[in-house]
A and B are shown apart, each in its own frame.
Chain A
């Protein structure tokens, strides 16, 4: 069965600082991987996704993520955080073997200090 771990419940950064949110997955083969953002009172919005190919994936709002098979990780990064990036971030995994039910991590809450 697939699973996702987001080790950090909260992360606090200063505006303008770089950001890395961790995501580790458990799945036998190469999974489909996703990062979503949930702003207060909003539904989830897809930031980026990885299916195959280039392991560095570019997303919206200046985010990127890198798939590292050897570490079973798909960490989300941003070089310079803006105050509007304060939100909840969810990593999700979907097996590439035909399942259509994604598994979501518990989320990481990003706090941005001015």
Chain B
């Protein structure tokens, strides 16, 4: 079946603009993660959605970052007033239920802020 998809694959924006990144998880997966991967760094946790529970937003680096998940499926990560330090690859992953289940990652969105 289809894997996790993300769009756009690349996004170039100007400093100060808002961007929206989209994640389509695998159908039926209730858990969804967003991560940020900067050059030479590991993955940095951003936010976690599990079913209808309130999301864990503890990894969001500032209030310019927000995310939502509509209908328990598609998720959108929004970055307002982008800064150059926001440049990174943003990865989305989904899993069937919980942390012991395999996380399936999307190919990522490469964000470049000029």
Residue numbers of A with Cβ under 8 A of B are 4, 9, 32, 36, 41-46, 49, 51, 90, 92, 94, 99-107
Known: A49-B102, A51-B100, A102-B99. 12 other contacts (CB 8 A): A4-B42, A32-B100, A36-B105, A43-B4, A43-B93, A44-B91, A45-B105, A100-B31, A100-B50, A100-B99, A101-B56, A104-B43
Residue numbers of B with Cβ under 8 A of A are 4, 31, 35, 40-45, 48, 50, 56, 58-59, 91, 93, 98-100, 102-108
Q: Is the CB of A43 within 8 A of B42?
A: no
Residue of B nearest to A43 (CB): B105
Contact A106 B40, CB 8 Å, known A32-B99, A42-B107, A45-B105? yes
Contact A100 B48, CB 8 Å, known A43-B107, A105-B42, A106-B41? yes
